[in-house]
Chains A and B, each alone.
Chain A
Amino acid sequence: MATVIEVDCSTGIVTERDETPDEMAVSQKMADEIATKQATEEQTQATQAASLASAQAKLTALGLTAEEVAAITGLPTPTV
């Protein structure tokens, strides 16, 4: 079970206590939402990276030099 830390800035008193059942339910809902969002973002990033690598490979296959590919994409010279 996770705890929550509460700081009372007016007194300096710090309380660390177990989550209440309601807080646990909210935490689980938030964690699920964040995990879903994270998975979506990671998939998007992976797709972008794969698309970039594919585009770089195709440009190289067309006869562009590594420096020309880098100039077009604005990214480091590919190693393909």
Chain B
Amino acid sequence: MSVFLQPIFTQTASGSANSITFNNIPQTYTDLQIVISARSTYSSWIDYCTAWYNGDRSSIYTDTYIYALSSGTGGSGDSATTAVNIGSYPAATSGTGVFGSINYYMPNYRSSNYKSAMSDFVLDMASTSTYNLGLWATLYSSSNAITSVTFYAGNGNFASGSTFSLYGILRQGV
């Protein structure tokens, strides 16, 4: 149980960037949390946000997910990939000005064991009848502490006004 949530940094996208990296993450917390409000410039209704750690693009990532769309539910996953998916979010043909929310939690980011993390995402569909939401679980099969994390926009860029807020969490008793 966390007893302390410290804002580390919030970065807002300019509209021309397709990735945002937090480097030199303090190694003084037990967990990290990233709260994302984002929209993509991609010419579709949806884009996919991915992430990787420490600039490490080797094939040691795993992810799995479940989702619920207004048209049905499902799930899938990937292994031995060079990044993890952490959530879908609205793109250029979604309702004007709507953003999606991704909440990404990274426990034990300094651990020398493999690091798991999880995210939930909700697309704002600007609708009372359609929806898109889901959960991702991810694994980074490395014994290295996480000192940086990169978020990649997918097919487009992060639209202007997209924000990425990084928090450090201290667990009770630490």
Hey, which bits of chain A sit against chain B, CB under 8 A?
2-12, 14, 16, 19, 26-27, 30-31, 34-35, 37-38, 41, 44-45, 48-49, 52
Contact = CB atoms under 8 A, between A and B. Distances in A.
Given A9-B26, A34-B47, 9 more contacts: A3-B14, A5-B20, A7-B22, A9-B166, A26-B57, A31-B155, A34-B155, A41-B76, A48-B71
Interface stretch (B5-13, B96-104, B113-121, B137-145): B5-13
A31 B23 CA distance: 23
A74 to B, nearest CB: 10
Most buried by A among B9, B26, B48, B57: B48
Interface of B: 8-9, 11, 13-14, 16-26, 44, 46-48, 50, 57, 69, 71-72, 74, 76, 83, 152, 154-155, 157, 166
B155 A10 contact: no
A51 B8 CA distance: 48
Contacts, number: 81
Nearest to A26: B57
Given A26-B57, A30-B50, A38-B46, A6 B74 contact: no
